[in-house]
Amino acid sequence: MEYSNPYQSPSLNDLLSLKGKNALVIGGSGLLGGEMSYTLAELGANVIVASRDIDKCKEFIKQMSKKFPGNHGSHSVDITSDESINELINNTKEDFNGQLDILINSGWSGNKNTFESISNQDWDHDIEVCLNGVFRTIKAATPLLKKSEGVILNIASMYGHVAPDYRIYEGNLFSNPPSYGAAKAGVIQLTKYCASFLSVDKIRVNVLSPGPFPLEGTQKESPEFIERLASKNPTNRIGNPYDLKGAAAILCSDAGAYMTGQNICVDGGWSVW
């Protein structure tokens, strides 16, 4: 009978280490993207964060570098623009001397809408940012990731694979627009497609689907709404941004080297019933 040999197995510290790795995080200064940026930096990676708000990105990098020093940086990007994305990739290539190992797509912007209130323009904008922007960024970054046999992590949502419960939402204030779930479902399928077709280049592609992670302002403004969200979960609570750190660490490091094309749900069990 054969047994595994713990002395031949890499340590978890080695598998999780990102020392010498370079990462680009789209939306990397936001509520959830920021936590993933911190995770990569904590594991030793050099991190560039990018979004439309360059001032926010610069301040984020300034604070992150105090705790996790590294070759970190920030750039502005509009993921609805091919020109802007190509400029970002060229700047990242220059900053990292041609080496990009990790790409995280966590960018999002959109209006709160119900099915009744959403306009064609709102729909088009949300799909453009949340789905088309992810495709464009992957397409532009792939030549660099081929060289490093790198990793792509896309950020979707529980609403990419289950529908919102209309009973939770009242009016437009906290509503979840139909465009959001449709776009996130597209991100999940795009992830699976890329995992298949980029496997020949040894690029791993996975997707992380967060559950309810409402903004702090929303929590303070409407505790009743937060209570309704929490009651939908087997864990009976909303998510803390740091709840994403473990999954992000695995999917972006060699600890997840045998994982590709997977949708990892960090949702407190939201989707099990």
- Residues of the chain falling short of pLDDT 70: 1, 171-172
How far apart are alpha carbons 100 and 200 in whole angstroms?
18
Task: Look at residue 6 and tell me if it is in a domain.
Answer: no
Which residues sit opposite 74 in a β-bridge? 49
Task: Look at residue 5 and tell me if it is in a domain.
Answer: no
Give pLDDT, residue 173: 72
Q: How many domains does the chain have?
A: 1
What predicted TM-score, i.e. pTM, was given to this entire model? 0.96
In terms of Cα–Cα distance, which of 4, 102, 114, 128 is closest to 47?
A: 102
Furthest-apart CA atoms within the chain: distance in Å: 65
Give pLDDT, residue 242: 97
Task: Look at residue 3 and tell me if it is in a domain.
Answer: no
Give pLDDT, residue 171: 65
Task: Look at residue 127 and tell me if it is in a domain.
Answer: yes
In this structure, the strands spanning 151-155 and 102-105 are parallel
Give pLDDT, residue 169: 86
Q: Which domain holds residue 156?
A: 12-272
Contacts of 164 (CB under 8 A, 6+ apart): 176, 181
Task: Look at residue 82 and tell me if it is in a domain.
Answer: yes
Task: Look at residue 7 and tell me if it is in a domain.
Answer: no
Give pLDDT, residue 175: 84
Could you read off the pLDDT of 7-36 as tens digits, one per residue?
789 999 999 999 999 999 999 999 999 999
The DSSP secondary structure of 132-193, one letter per residue, reads IHHHHHHHHHHHHHHHHT-EEEEE--GGGTS---TTT--SSTT---HHHHHHHHHHHHHHHH
How far apart are alpha carbons 82 and 88 in whole angstroms?
10
Give pLDDT, residue 172: 67
Task: Look at residue 4 and tell me if it is in a domain.
Answer: no
Give pLDDT, residue 125: 95
* Site of tokens 């864990």: 235
Task: Look at residue 218 and tell me if it is in a domain.
Answer: yes
Say which CATH number the domain at 149 has. 3.40.50.720
